[in-house]
Structure 1
Amino acid sequence: MSLTQPGSRPGGRLRHVAGAVLVVTLGLDGTAALAQTSASRPSYESHRFKEDWSPLRDPALRTDPFDPLKWIPLSGDGSAYLTLGGELRARYESSLDPVFGLGPLRRNDYALLRSFLFADLHLGPNARTFLELASGFAPGWAGEPPPTQKDLLDILQAFGELSLTTVHGEIMLRGGRQEMSFGSSRLVSVRESPNIRRAFDGVRAAWIGGGDTRIDVFLVRPVAPQLGIFNDSADQAQLFWGAYATTAIPAVPGLKTDLYYLALERDKARFAQGVATERRHTLGTRLFGQHSGFDWNVEAAYQFGSFGTAEIRAWTVSANVGYTFAHLPFSPRVGLNADAISGDGNLRDNRLGTFNPMFPKLPYFSEANLAAPANLLDLQPNLSLSLTPKLTVTLGWNPLWKQAEADAFYAPPLSPVRGTASGTGRFIGQQTSAAFEWGATEHLTIGGTYVHYTPGKRLKQAGGRAGDFVAGWAQFTF
C-alpha cells in the first residue's frame, strides 16, 4: 500500500521553500503578562496552529509587546491576516548510566538548544496555510547526536487547510506536513522533550460538532528527521492511518470518552521474536474527566494483525487517577498512575504478544526516558503541590516489571535490549523522581527534574546499573 505516487511525498519535501528570518526583540513586561491572563485574550497552545489571534482586531486587547506579530491585517475587513510566532528553548541534561546502564554510554552531559518559527496565514474565514521551521543543536553530546536532537534547519510543519461551517458543525480538511496528538498522547504524540518534535506527512480531515464532539480521520507517514538542512522526509517504511472520535457523556457530569481505530504498517519491525513486516490494527477507548476534586484518565486498547507469518494479539490498560485537596495549603493532588502493557509470552510460537505503542509521548514514565511502554507492568504513586499559582512540584515513585517473563525489556522508542529476554524474574527496576515547573510569565517557563533509578535482578544479570538523570530548562514562547 502506497500513500503517494512514486517520487512524491505527502506535503512534499518543499525543497523550494527558503528559510525565513525573523528578528524579534525579546522584552518582558510584567503588566502586559498580567493582562495576558484576561479571558477575552487567546492563549498559547502546545500545538501552535491551534492558536486563534483574531480577537486582537479589538485594539483594547492588544496589551502585550508581541501583539503586533499576532494579528497583522492583510485586508480591509481583517478577514485575511498573518500571525507570526515561535519558541526558544535551552535545556541541560546529565545522564549517568542511561536506560539502567544498558545503553552504549556510561555518561552523557549535554545541552539541547532548539528554536521554532512559524507563520500562520489566514486567507479569509475558510482557508489558511501554516509554515513552521525548526532548528536543533546538542552541544556536548557524547558522539554524534541523533537527528531528533541535531537538525540544523528544516520544515517542521507546512500544510494547507480548508474549513466549512454547516448547521451541524465544522468540516476541516488539511494536507501537508503536520503535528498530531490524540487523547492523552499515549499512542500518538509530538515527542516534546527532544529538540525536534514529531510530525507526519499526509492528509487529515475532521468534523467538529457541538458538545465537545469531534471525529478525525487521517492517512500519513511519520517524518524522519535528518542531520542536514531542508532534507527531512517521510519515512517510506511506515504508513499510519485511522480514525479518532471524542465526545462528552451528558448523563455523567464531567465524563468524556474517546473511541479510536489506528493502523500501522512497518517494514523491518524489530521485536524480541525477530524482524519482519508488521501490519498492526488497534481498537481502543478512553474515559476521562474531572468532578468534585476527582480526576480520571483510563484507557484500554487491543491490537491484532500480522508480524511476518505470525499473528498479533496484544493489549494495554492504563490509568491516571487523582484527587485534589483544593482547600488545603498548596492544593495537594494525590495521584496514582498504573499501566499493564502486554509482552510476548512465547518467543518461539506463531504469535506476537508485544504491544506496540506506535508514536507515544517520550519520555513516557519520567524525563529520564528509561523504558518504552511495551511488555510492562508499573505503578506510580505521586504527589503534586502548587506552591504558588504558577509553581508546581511533583514527587513520584515508579517500580516496573515485565508483563511477560519470556519477552525482552524494551528501550525507547521500541528496541528490545540484548540479554533481557527469557531468564527468571520480572522485576525490571524502579525510579524515584522530583520535578518542578514555574510559569514565570506568560512567555517564560522554567522547569527541572531529578530521577534516580536502580535495576532489578533481571536487568543486573544483563549488566544493568543504578544511575541518575538531571535536567533543567527554560522555554520562551512568543
Structure 2
Amino acid sequence: MSRIRHSRALRTGTAIPFLAAAIGVAYGVAARAADGVQADGRQATTTAPENITVHVRPRPPIQIYPHANPIGQPYRLSGAENRKNGHPYDWGVFNRDNGEAAGFGPIGRYGVAPWAEDWSSLRDHPKHDDPFDVLKYIPLTRSGSVWISFSGETRARNWFESRPMLGTQKPSDSGRFTIRNLYGADLHIGPHLRFFGQLVNADAGGWGGYGYGSTYRKRLDAQQAFVETRWTMLGAKSGFMFGRQQFLDAPSYIIYNRDTPSVPLSWNGFRAYMIWSRIRIDGWDFVQTYDNERAMFHDTENYASRLYGFNATWAPPDFTFMGQKGYSFVDAFYIGYKLAGAAGVIAGPDGAVTGSNTRNTFGTRWHGVAGPVEFSLGGVWQGGVFRPAATSTARGVSAYAINATLGYRLPDPVLHSFAGIQADVYSGGDAARRSGTIGTYTAPFSPQTGYLDTTTYMNPSNLIGFAPLVRITPCSSVSIQLKYPLFWRDSVRDPIYRSTGYYSFAQTFHGRFIGMAPQASLAWQINTHLSWTQYVSRFMTSRGLDAAGGSSGTYYQSNFAFRF
C-alpha cells in the first residue's frame, strides 16, 4: 500500500540545456538559504492537498526500465499501477503496459526519454526511498513550484562477432567495446513551462573493431535541448515542444532510439500533442541532428534528412474475453521522410544509385490485450518519389509492410511465461530496373534493435520474417527470452539489405531463403540503478547464401548500465 499526497494543480513542465540548469540549481540553493527555506522547500503552498490511499503491488524490478513493444513484457501492468509505482505523467489509460501508448516511449520508474518521467510526487520529502531521490526533485522556490530534476545514464557495451555482417565485414572474430554517458537536467517553472537539456559523450575500443564513426566516438555535445509549454485546451492535456529532442511516437518497428551506436537519434524542430481520456493526437516536423562532427559542441542540423507527420490513437472501451479483462489501442498515422546522400541510396543495375528520396508512409496499428492473449497487427503503405542525382527522371514509389505479433500469457505464477509468434513482411522491388515504380519499403530511422534480429544483420527492406518466441520471468528481477527467426527475401530481384545500404557478396545470390538466427536474451535488473543485459545468437546462412559468399556466424553482446 502506498500513500499518495498530491496537489489538485497539474504538475507538469519543460526543460533547459544542462549548463543553464546547473546555474539554476546554484541560484535556487542560494535563494533558499537567503530566505531561510527549510531543506524540503515546503514552507508555503498555494493549493490544498488531498490524501488518497491506493493499494498497489510493488513494481517488479525487471520493469524499472521497460523495453519497447508493449507485447510480451515480463509482467503486465495496468495504467494505474504504472502511474503509482512508476514515474510517467498522468496520461490515464495510455499508461498501460510499458506506457508507450502515450507517445513518449517506454517508461517505468525510468524512461527511454528521461524528460517523460514525472518526479513531482517527491515534494513530500518523507517519500524519499532511494539515495538518488535527492537529485530527482530539488525545489528552487518556497512553494516548490519551480524545481529541477537530474537524470543520468552510463552504459558499457561489448560484443563479439565471429563473422560480422554475414561474413562481408572484416576482420573476422571482431570484439568491440563502447561506453557512453547521457546526463541531463529538467527545469520546471510552474505547471506550464519547462526546459530540458542533455549532454552526451562516448568512446569505443576493443580488437578488430569496425564502423566506429561519430555515433560511437563523440566528444561532449548537446544531445537534447528543448523548451516545452503545457496547458489544457478543449478538455485535453496539451503541449508544444520546440528544440532538439528524442522522438518515440511511432511503432518501434518503424522508428526508435538508435540503440546499437552510443549516440541516440535526436531531432530538431517542433512537436504538438493533445491527450484526452481515450483519444490523443500528435503532430511533428523535424530535421535530423547532424552528429558527424568530431569537435566538441559542433552538432548542428542535417537538413538533408527530415521527419514529419501526425498520429492519432484511440483507446476503445474495455471489454471481457475468456472471462478476463481486455483493452486495446488503435493508431492511425502518417510519417513522411526526406532523405538525401547515403540515407537516400537505392539499389540499381550498376550498383548503388544516389539521389533524393521522399517517402510518404500511411499506416495503422491495432494492439492490446484480450484476456490471456496479447496482440499487435499493423500495416503501412509507402508512396513517394525518388530523384536520381545523375538524371532528371523521377521514379515513383509504391511499397508496403505488414507486422504482426500474437502471444498467449500462460496462467503460470512461477515463471510468468509468455509464448507467441511474430510475422513481418517488407516489400521488395527490382534492382535491375532503371525506371518505373520502386517497390522496396524502407525504414531509415533505426527501428528497435531486437525487433527483427538482435544481430542487426537484417534490415526491414525486401524481407519476410517469421519467429516463434518464448519469454519466462523466473524471478522479479530476471527475464529470459528465446526466439527463432527465419528470413526470406520478398523479391529475388532485390538484394538483402543491411542497416547501411545493402549486401554485396562475391557471387550473385539467386535464392529466396536467407537463413535463420536462433537467439536468446537475458535481462537482469541488479538493483534500482544497475542492469545487465546479454544477447547471444547464431546466424545460420542458407546454402544458397553460402555459395554466394555469405557466412554463418556467432554473435554475443553484453550491456551493463547505470541509471538514475
When the two structures are superposed, what TM-score results if normalisation uses the length of structure 2?
A: 0.76
Relative to its length, the structure with more helix (as a share) is 2
> Could you tell me which residue of structure 2 aligns to residue 266 of structure 1?
339
Q: Unaligned 5+ residue runs, structure 1?
A: 1-13, 23-30
2:424 to 333, 336, 339: 339
Residue 505 of structure 2 corresponds to residue 391 of structure 1: no
Q: Deviations over 1:191-241 (max 9, x none)?
A: 123211111111111111112x22111110112323332122222211221
1:153-202 Cα deviation digits (max 9, x unpaired): 11111000111113511221111100011243111211123211111111
Counterpart CA distance in 2 for 1:32 and 1:172 is: 29
Equivalent of 1:456 in 542, 546, 552: 542
Task: Tell me the SS of whatever aligns to 1:254.
Answer: strand
Q: Say which of 373, 377, 386 aligns to 1:294.
A: 373
Q: Say whether the 8 Å CA contact 2:305–2:340 is kept in structure 1.
A: yes
Mapping of 1:44-443 within 5 angstroms? Answer: 44-140=110-206, 142=209, 145-211=212-278, 213-226=279-292, 227-250=294-317, 253-268=326-341, 269-273=344-348, 274-308=353-387, 309-327=394-412, 329-345=414-430, 347-348=432-433, 349-359=435-445, 360-413=447-500, 415-419=501-505, 423-443=509-529
One-letter identity of the residue aligned with 1:307: F
SS at match of 1:69: helix
Structure-2 change in CA distance of 1:425 and 1:144 (3 Å): closer
Q: Kindly state the Cα deviation for residue 17 of structure 1 after the two structures are TM-superposed.
A: 6.4
What are the Cα deviations for residues 90-113 of structure 1, in whole angstroms up to 9, with x where unaligned?
111111111211224323212111
SS at match of 1:371: coil
Q: Secondary structure at the match of 1:103?
A: coil
| Secondary structure of 2:214's aligned partner | coil
**In structure 2, do the counterparts of structure 1 residues 169 and 49 end up closer, same or farther at CA, with 3 Å as the change threshold?**
same
Give a deviation string over 1:64-95, Cα, whole Å, max 9, x none. 10111111101121111000110111111111
How far has the Cα of 1:407 moved from its partner?
Answer: 0.3
Shift of 1:328: 5.7
Q: Distance in 1 between matches of 2:59 and 2:422?
A: 38
1:76/1:292 CA distance change after superposition, 3 Å: same
Question: Matched residue of 1:52: which SS?
Answer: coil
CA contact 1:406–1:423 (8 Å) conserved in 2: no
Q: Which has the higher strand share?
A: 1
Q: Deviations over 1:27-84 (max 9, x none)?
A: xxxx9999x9993563211110101111001122111101111111011211110001
Q: Is the 8 A contact 1:33 1:64 kept in 2?
A: no
Deviation at 1:463, TM superposition (A): 1.5
Q: Out of 45-54 and 273-282, give the one that drifted further.
A: 273-282
Query: Match for 1:305: what amino acid?
Result: G
- C-alpha root-mean-square deviation of aligned residues, in Å? 2.5
TM-score by length of 1: 0.89
Task: Name the count of aligned residue pairs.
Answer: 453
Contact 2:188 2:194 (8 Å CA) reproduced? yes
Write out aligned runs for 1:25-36 (5 A).
none
Superposed CA deviations along residues 441-464 of structure 1, whole A, max 9, x for unmatched, are 121111111110121234323321
Amino acid paired to 2:333: Y
What's the offset of the Cα at 1:290?
1.1
Q: Note the C-alpha offset of 1:405.
A: 0.6
Mapped to 1, the partners of 2:558 and 2:248 lie a distance apart of: 25
Aligned twin of 1:466 = 552
Q: Is the 8 A contact 1:364 1:373 kept in 2?
A: no
Q: Secondary structure at the match of 2:484?
A: strand
| Conserved? CA contact 1:155–1:230, under 8 Å | yes
Given that 1:193 and 1:363 are in contact with CA atoms closer than 8 Å, whether structure 2 keeps it comes out as no
Query: 1:336 Cα deviation (Å)?
Result: 0.7
Q: Which one has the largest radius of gyration? A: 2
Give, as a single letter, the amino acid of the residue that structure 2 aligns with 1:310. R
The Cα offsets for residues 330-370 of structure 1, whole Å up to 9 and x where unpaired, read as 12211111101000046314111000113122354232111
Contact 1:135 1:152 in 2 (8 A): yes
Distance 1:421 1:120 in 2: 54
How many Å separate the matches in 2 of 1:18 and 1:203?
Answer: 21
Take 1:32 and 1:361, find their aligned partners in 2: how far apart are those partners? 25
How far 1:251 moved relative to its partner?
6.3
Q: Distance in 1 between matches of 2:144 and 2:20?
A: 27
Name the counterpart of 1:5: none
Task: Provide the C-alpha distance between the structure 2 equivalents of 1:87 and 1:58, rounded to a whole number of angstroms.
Answer: 25
The gaps in structure 2 that reach 5 residues or longer are 1-16, 26-57, 65-80, 88-108, 320-325, 388-393
Alignment partners' CA distance in 2, 1:143 and 1:192: 17
Following the alignment from structure 1 to structure 2, what is the Cα–Cα distance between the partners of residues 421 and 181? 39
Alpha-carbon distance in structure 1 between the residues aligned to 2:21 and 2:227: 18
Q: Percent identity between the aligned chains?
A: 27
Contact 1:408 1:420 survives alignment (8 Å): no
Instruction: Report if aligned partners of 2:505, 2:550 keep a CA contact under 8 Å in 1.
Output: no
Worse-superposed segment, 230-239 or 72-81: 230-239
Q: Within 2, Cα distance between the matches of 1:79 and 1:377?
A: 52
Deviation at 1:475, TM superposition (A): 1.0
Q: In the superposition, relative to structure 1, how do residues 426 and 93 fare at CA in structure 2: closer, same or farther (>3 Å)?
A: same
SS where residue 122 of structure 2 aligns?
helix
The 1:143–1:32 alpha-carbon spacing in structure 2 relative to 1, beyond 3 Å, is closer
CA distance in 2, matches of 1:17, 1:254: 43
Distance in 1 (CA, whole Å) between partners of 2:334 and 2:507 is 30
State how far apart, in whole Å, the 2-side matches of 1:136 and 1:306 are.
Answer: 37
SS in 1 for 2:442: coil
Partner Cα distance (1:109, 1:190) in 2: 23
1:422 deviates by 6.8
Q: Is the 8 A contact 2:507 2:548 kept in 1?
A: no
Please give the alpha-carbon distance, in whole angstroms, between the structure 2 residues aligned to 1:79 and 1:385.
Answer: 43
2:157 partner letter: R
Secondary structure class of the residue paired with 1:416: coil
Return the alpha-carbon distance in structure 2 between the equivalents of residues 458 and 175 of structure 1.
Answer: 50
Q: CA deviation at 1:275?
A: 2.3
